[in-house]
Structure 1
Amino acid sequence: MRLLSTLAALLLAGLAGPLHADCAGTNLLAEMPAERRAAITAAADAVPFARGNYWRATRGDEVITLIGTYHFDDPRHAPTLQAVTPAIRAATTVLVEAGPEEEKALQALVARDPSRMVITTGPTLNQQLPPEVWAQLRAAMELRGIPAFMAGKMQPWYVTVMLSIPPCAMARMQDPKGLDGMVIDAARAASVPVRGLEPFDTVFGIFDAMTHEEMVAMIQSTLALEDRSEDYSATLADSYFAGESRVIWEYMRDVSYGLPGYTPEMVDAEFARLEELLMNRRNQSWIPVLTAAAADGPVFAAFGALHLSGEQGVLNLLQQEGFTLEALPL
């Protein structure tokens, strides 16, 4: 899966690393020749609702206000929260990917079944991986404060998620808030009920759909980006705050076209699979939750920004349900 696997790690539950003050990432898109960047932007703009993080959907008396989120801390969240707080306070329900109850249920599941996170039986990663790959992984995890004996016991998906966080940002991972958490806090302060858009164990269903070989390939491909992990995080965050999260998707596609052994057709096929697995299926399952809640009063919904765009994005699916979409300023 190579670079595509890294993108999967960034998308799953929004686990892209926040940039700490000590991080010095460079926006990789800014380094690109103008012609290549224009092609990436054009590819992003070719899908419905490619730009913008803040939207209102209306159908008669039904109103759904939607904010695409970046899941980790960044000082640039402050003006966004200020802009969306009136809509949160006016809502009868706030819907998020995982609300407080879903988080509690997920923690309880992991407590009951540690194998969801760590390898409890069979060979550990240091036994599964080629020696040279394990040596790279061990060094990368130690930079993040994770000793080798712990890294070896982690499930491959969990290792990939850890690798997607730059070492410089690990200190901020004790209590990451992000815009999602800020929305939940604002709703609670206003006594507005908060509910999850999907079952608490959805994320494990996504991982279960991937083969073991794909999981191991995730580790190898993410390690290939280790020397520029800060730059990928900076590029992701900058694109989000510019209202251009779809550009990241097309940027990763463009980078993947240049990988040895890959044809454009192979890359496009893998991207289509990932989009179906990570976004489309979830988006489709969220629509009845959103519309049912809207029938009872104004709804405020917050979820990862990449779920907004695309043919099977939440905005286009709502439009197909008869909602009128309006971009809102931030």
Structure 2
Amino acid sequence: MRLKPFLTAIFAAMFLALPAAAQECVGKNLFDSMPPARLAELRAAAEGVPYRHGLFWRAEKGEQHITLIGTYHFADLRHALTMDRFGPQIDAAATLLVEAGPEEEARLTQAMTSDPTLLVDPEGPTLPERFTDDEWKSLSSALEARGLPVVIASRLRPWYVAVMLGVSPCMMQVIKERGDAGGLDHFLVERAEAAGVPVQALEPWDTVFTLFEGMTPKEEEDMIRAAMPAAEYADDYAVTLADAYFAGDSWLIWEFGRFDAYDNSGLTRAEVDEQMRLAQEKLMDQRNKNWIKPLEQAAAEAAGQGKGVVAGFGALHLPGTSGVLRLLENRGWTISPITVEGIGDGG
């Protein structure tokens, strides 16, 4: 899960968030104050995207079946509704498939602790050298507010900077207090472990470090420029994303990130569209294709036991012509929505 071009995909495949903890982050839904004409543009841009509305789905192929849950990676009290609906299915499943399981998360944490160069570039040009004085002033201020001193921030890798800009200072404090993000994925894994259901990762633990390989310096810099505008109102952005998610309207988040960058990033529309193309390719499309084989293999093995499987991953991986649902449909699976009372409408 954020929320502007690249974050729209890591978050809006990665950092969708409305934390609920001892400290509450307060913001407003930006759709509520958006001019009607612009909101109509967003909705028009999302029209026609396959499976664009809905978070919960069932895929069936002969005796095989997969329950697919589009997740939201930060804490929210409304996750209880989802767990009430799908907890029993997880208990009865042969396997729970997630983006990263406990083993992968542990390896990732260990790697980042033992090798700082995964997040920090000790040799290349610093960020102050790559941006104008005004850009660096704004960027360093935003990173300092998120607990990253300038001396460290100046050498952070661009992809990590873009991700951090999508998390508001308040949200960072909530995560620190909780010890984790507390997202739906966490509850799915917790339920599976309690029921003795195996948890399988859909991708290797180091995927996050390979997603941005091959980007040019200009593409890296534009990724940060596209992320900067919403960093100033990240709490509002978080509320907007959360409300859209729980309304089952995930693809609207994607288009929101695009139009926000059109208006506020300083990039041309062509540059923003290129960022969006790269984001979708690297953060969603490539990964979606890689997930089909483990999903189908797990479902086939489960069918041999007279069971199904449950898969939970970021909600933006579900819709689109290269989304998991359409990819499965193209391989002969029948896709049908699942309704959860109080969340979206399932279709």
TM-score (norm 1): 0.91
Mapping of residues 190-229 of structure 1, within 5 Å: 190-229=195-234
Q: Partners in 1 of 2:192 and 2:319 — Cα distance?
A: 25
2:50 equivalent to 1:48:
yes
Q: Partners in 1 of 2:271 and 2:196 — Cα distance?
A: 49
Q: Partners in 2 of 1:65 and 1:130 — Cα distance?
A: 49
SS state of the match for residue 207, structure 1? coil
Q: Residues 24 and 189 of structure 1: is their aligned pair in 2 closer, same or farther, counting only changes over 3 Å? A: same
Q: Partners in 2 of 1:3 and 1:67 — Cα distance?
A: 23
1:283 alignment counterpart: 288
SS state of the match for residue 29, structure 1? coil
Q: Flag structure 1 segments of 5+ consecutive residues without an equivalent.
A: none
2:119 equivalent to 1:110:
no
2:145 alignment counterpart: 143
2:318 equivalent to 1:308:
yes
| 1:202 Cα offset (Å) | 1.5
Q: Partners in 2 of 1:299 and 1:42 — Cα distance?
A: 35
User: CA deviation digits over 1:276-328, x for unaligned, max 9?
Assistant: 22111111111111000000111100000000000111111111111111111
2:100 alignment counterpart: 98
Contact 2:61 / 2:334 at 8 angstroms: preserved in 1? Answer: yes
Q: Flag structure 2 segments of 5+ consecutive residues without an equivalent.
A: 303-307, 341-347
| 1:127 Cα offset (Å) | 4.3
| 1:136 Cα offset (Å) | 1.6
Q: Identify which of 324, 335, 344 aligns with 1:325.
A: 335
1:255 alignment counterpart: 260
SS state of the match for residue 56, structure 1? strand
Q: Partners in 1 of 2:91 and 2:15 — Cα distance?
A: 27
TM-score (norm 2): 0.86
Contact 1:6 / 1:221 at 8 angstroms: preserved in 2? Answer: no
Q: Partners in 2 of 1:47 and 1:221 — Cα distance?
A: 23
Contact 1:126 / 1:134 at 8 angstroms: preserved in 2? Answer: yes
Q: Partners in 1 of 2:235 and 2:54 — Cα distance?
A: 24
Amino acid at match of 2:36: A
Q: Residues 227 and 106 of structure 1: is their aligned pair in 2 closer, same or farther, counting only changes over 3 Å? A: closer
| 1:206 Cα offset (Å) | 0.9
| 1:122 Cα offset (Å) | 4.0
| 1:215 Cα offset (Å) | 2.1
Mapping of residues 66-81 of structure 1, within 5 Å: 66-81=68-83
| 1:80 Cα offset (Å) | 1.1
Amino acid at match of 2:27: G
Amino acid at match of 1:23: C
Q: Residues 57 and 178 of structure 1: is their aligned pair in 2 closer, same or farther, counting only changes over 3 Å? A: same
1:88 alignment counterpart: 90
How many pairs align?
Answer: 327
1:25 alignment counterpart: 27
Contact 1:57 / 1:325 at 8 angstroms: preserved in 2? Answer: yes
User: CA deviation digits over 1:15-49, x for unaligned, max 9?
Assistant: 34444554222111222233432342243231111
Q: Residues 84 and 40 of structure 1: is their aligned pair in 2 closer, same or farther, counting only changes over 3 Å? A: same
Amino acid at match of 1:324: T
RMSD value, Cα: 2.2
SS state of the match for residue 301, structure 2? coil
Q: Residues 145 and 253 of structure 1: is their aligned pair in 2 closer, same or farther, counting only changes over 3 Å? A: closer
Query: Share of identical aligned residues, percent?
Result: 43
Contact 2:12 / 2:253 at 8 angstroms: preserved in 1? Answer: no
Contact 1:49 / 1:308 at 8 angstroms: preserved in 2? Answer: yes
